[in-house]
Every structure is written in C-alpha cells, then in structure tokens.
Amino acid sequence: MLGINPDIKKSHTLPGEFYKSEARFKEVVEKIFAHSWHYAIDTIDIKSNISIQPVTLLPNVLDEPVLFTRDKNGETHCMSNVCTHRGMILVEEGNKSRIISCKYHGRCFRLDGSFKSMPAFEEAENFPCEDDNLPHISFAEWAGMLFTSLKPTIPFEEMIKPIQERLSFLPLDKMIFDPSKSKDYFVNANWALYCDNYLEGLHIPFVHPTLNAALDFENYSSEIFPYCNLQLGIGNDEADNFEIPEGHQDYGKKVYAYYYFLFPNVMLNFYKWGLSLNIVQPTSFNTTTVRFRTYLYPDAKAQQEDFAIDQTEMEDEWVVERVQKGIQSRMYKRGRFSPSMEKGVHHFHLLIQQMMNRE
C-alpha cells in the first residue's frame, strides 16, 4: 500500500522511495506497463495492403517484440513477433511480404498470424495446433495512430472517450505527422517524476516564463476522468486560441491548449495548429526517454513556429532532474498535494496505487 488517500485534502504524495528503488521499478513494469496501452505506430506505416511493420514496446524495459500487419483485404492485425518454434525474432524491418517467414528454420505464418507451413514436421503428432499460431495482441486505432496492450485491464475506447467527445470539432483523423518538428529527449529522472511535473500547472509561473505569458494562469483548471485527465489552458492572446463552435461546452472560453494525459505515460497536447504527442518511456528506474511527435492539421502548417516547445521541455527537464537528485536525500519522505492545483497528480498517484495493489 502506497498510502494515497482518496481525499486530496488529506493525502500525501507517493513516498520518495517509489522514485529511486530499482526493485519497485521492476514491480511497476509488470503491474502497470505490462497492462497499459502504448502508442506503437501510425496507421500510415502500414497504409498499403500486404504490409508488415515490427515494433518493440518500451525497449529495454518491457522489451516486447510486436508485429503489425495489413493483409490483402486491408485488415489490420497485431501479434507477437516471436516464432512459435524456437523463439526467433521473425521480422526486423518493415516489408511488403505476403508471408511471415522465420529465418532460423523456415516456419511460415500468414499475415493474420496463423501457421502456414514448417519443413521436417511431417511426423509430428497433433501438429499444427493453436499454439503454433502467433499469439494475437490487443490493439486500437485512433486519430491515425495505433495503440497496443499486452494484457489490457481497461478498454482503450473507455480511456479515450472523454477526449473523443470533447474534441470532436477538430479534424483529428486528418492530422499529418511532421518529422522535422519531432525529436526524442533524454531525462535523468524516474518516469513518474516527469509525469508528476506535467500533471500540475502550479509550477508554470516559476519555471516557464514564455508559457506563462501565453496562459491566463488564474483560470487554469483540471478535470479528472476515470483513466485520463485534462488541464485546460486558457490563453491571453486571442490569435493563439481555438475557434470553438457555438454549442460546444467550451464555447466563449479563450482556450489556448487542451493538455490531456492518458494513464500511465501518454500526453496529448492539442493546440490550434495540431497535436504534440509526448510518450514518456522509462529506460531504467532513474532514466527516461520522452518522445515528442508533432502532428499538424492540414491548414495549420505555419502556426507551430510561434510556440517554443523545445524551450518548455528544457525547463521541465531542469526541474525534474533536480527533483530526482533531491529525493535521494535521507531527509525527504513524501509531500502533500495542493487541492486546487494538483488534482491531476493526485489522480495519477491513486491510479498507480490501484495498479500496484493488483495480485
């Protein structure tokens, strides 16, 4: 039990030990990340029929080899990328082969993962059977992206529903990935510390002068949903705000950004120009890679130039890395929550506790 009280006014934060224990991190990997939904690829990566694309989920942590395929009928499949004969990795690079063939002993699979053939097994009894097919893995498609989960405990549709409903006025299915504005950042801190920092706006006036100038901090607010939450950034400059249609619940508000967080590690930052997708990937108990992927609406290509995302990220990294050093102190135990400004962090800690208490 991590001791997170459901009442934010009474609760303490996660103990410092959570962020600096390698043994605790191993529990997190199996109890949280093995059951969570992960961004994998964009649908355009397997756009054409007869396509095969390998992915490794959370390299060096889950390190799970996964394979996405699209067959001749245009149907998408997700399965293990490990041969059911002797465990060989099947596909290392994307291709357009009609079959999946193991380079070790020649076992072949169809693009739906079903067993096709295997040399020298004529005398094997009860062969092939269900276990000779590639195991299927749950996946979901949303806004041109594919997400997957090894052992999902929450339907993806339930997680994404609050976003889908709130942002239905945006052309999410028409967003275009821009590799020139996408990059990876390496942070010397625990993954959850990075998420903690993202999930509250309390630090913005102290850490982010440029962002603070764009936001009306007095009207910054958080909304909590079962498995995601929203920080609503109200803007100061009309030119940078969304054009929200009449009848929408946010009509009349000067919304600068919708900052959504999908538990446990996906950040969806929607701006007038498009989406900044941030995937927080732990690489060890005290190191993290944050993947920034930029998606632009078809008619908003030039608008991102005005926003200093890189500057904001550097400021966040500066803070988080110093917190990682600070919690090593023998004097630090755990903190308290601001009931008005840290609702998202409290919700995050409650979900961590819920997942960690699973048998």
pLDDT band at 239 (very low <50, low <70, confident <90, very high): low
Report the alpha-carbon angle 260-264-265, nearest 5: 65
Query: Which of the listed residues 145, 162, 183 is the one where a domain comes to its end?
Result: 145
H or E segment at 107? none
What is the distance between the alpha carbons of residues 327 and 324, in angstroms, rounded to a whole number?
6
CATH number of the domain to which 140 belongs: 2.102.10.10
Query: What's the pLDDT score for residue 306?
Result: 46
The reply to whether 258 and 292 lie within a common domain is yes
Tens-digit pLDDT profile for residues 83-142: 999 999 999 999 999 999 999 999 999 999 999 999 999 999 999 999 999 999 999 999
The reply to whether 27 and 93 lie within a common domain is no
The reply to whether 103 and 186 lie within a common domain is no
The reply to whether 47 and 129 lie within a common domain is yes
The reply to whether 21 and 69 lie within a common domain is no
The reply to whether 22 and 71 lie within a common domain is no
- Residues of the domain holding 52: 38-145
Tens-digit pLDDT profile for residues 186-217: 999 999 999 999 999 888 887 778 877 778 87
Place of tokens 């400059």: 237
Is a pLDDT exceeding 50 seen at residue 282?
A: yes
The answer to the question of residue 9 being in a domain is no
The reply to whether 203 and 314 lie within a common domain is yes
DSSP label of 228:
E
Task: For the chain, give the percent of residues with pLDDT over 90.
Answer: 84
Calculate mean pLDDT across residues 220-237: 92
Burial class of residue 218, CB neighbours in 10 A (0-12, 13-18, 19+): exposed
Largest interatomic CA distance in the chain: 75
The answer to the question of residue 7 being in a domain is no
The answer to the question of residue 156 being in a domain is no
The amino acid occupying position 110 is R
Is a pLDDT exceeding 90 seen at residue 147?
A: yes
Half-sphere exposure (Cβ direction) of 288: Cα atoms closer than 13 Å: 25
The answer to the question of residue 154 being in a domain is no
The answer to the question of residue 116 being in a domain is yes
Report how many domains make up the chain. Answer: 2
The reply to whether 191 and 328 lie within a common domain is yes
- Edge-first strand order for the sheet with 51-57 is 51-57, 64-70, 76-80
Which tokens hold the place of 138? Answer: 């749950």
H or E segment at 147? strand 145-149
Tens-digit pLDDT profile for residues 287-308: 999 999 999 998 775 454 445 6
What is the distance between the alpha carbons of residues 133 and 118, in angstroms, rounded to a whole number?
12
The answer to the question of residue 234 being in a domain is yes
Q: Which residues, at least 6 apart from 103, have a Cβ–Cβ distance to it below 8 Å?
A: 88
The reply to whether 206 and 77 lie within a common domain is no
- Cα separation values, 13 from 131, 155, 228, 348, Å: 45, 27, 18, 10
What is the distance between the alpha carbons of residues 18 and 8, in angstroms, rounded to a whole number?
19
The reply to whether 28 and 47 lie within a common domain is no
The answer to the question of residue 270 being in a domain is yes
Tens-digit pLDDT profile for residues 322-334: 999 999 999 999 9
Query: What's the pLDDT score for residue 358?
Result: 82
Other CB atoms within a 10 A radius of the CB of residue 318 amount to 10
Is a pLDDT exceeding 90 seen at residue 317?
A: no
Torsion sign (Cα): 185, 190, 192, 197: negative
The reply to whether 220 and 297 lie within a common domain is yes
Query: What's the pLDDT score for residue 301?
Result: 57
Which one, of 125, 126, 107, 129, lies nearest residue 116 by Cα? 107
Calculate mean pLDDT across residues 261-279: 96
The answer to the question of residue 119 being in a domain is yes
The reply to whether 141 and 241 lie within a common domain is no
Phi, psi values for residue 277, rounded to 5°: -90, 120
CATH number of the domain to which 281 belongs: 3.90.380.10
Contact 201, 341 (CB under 8 A): yes
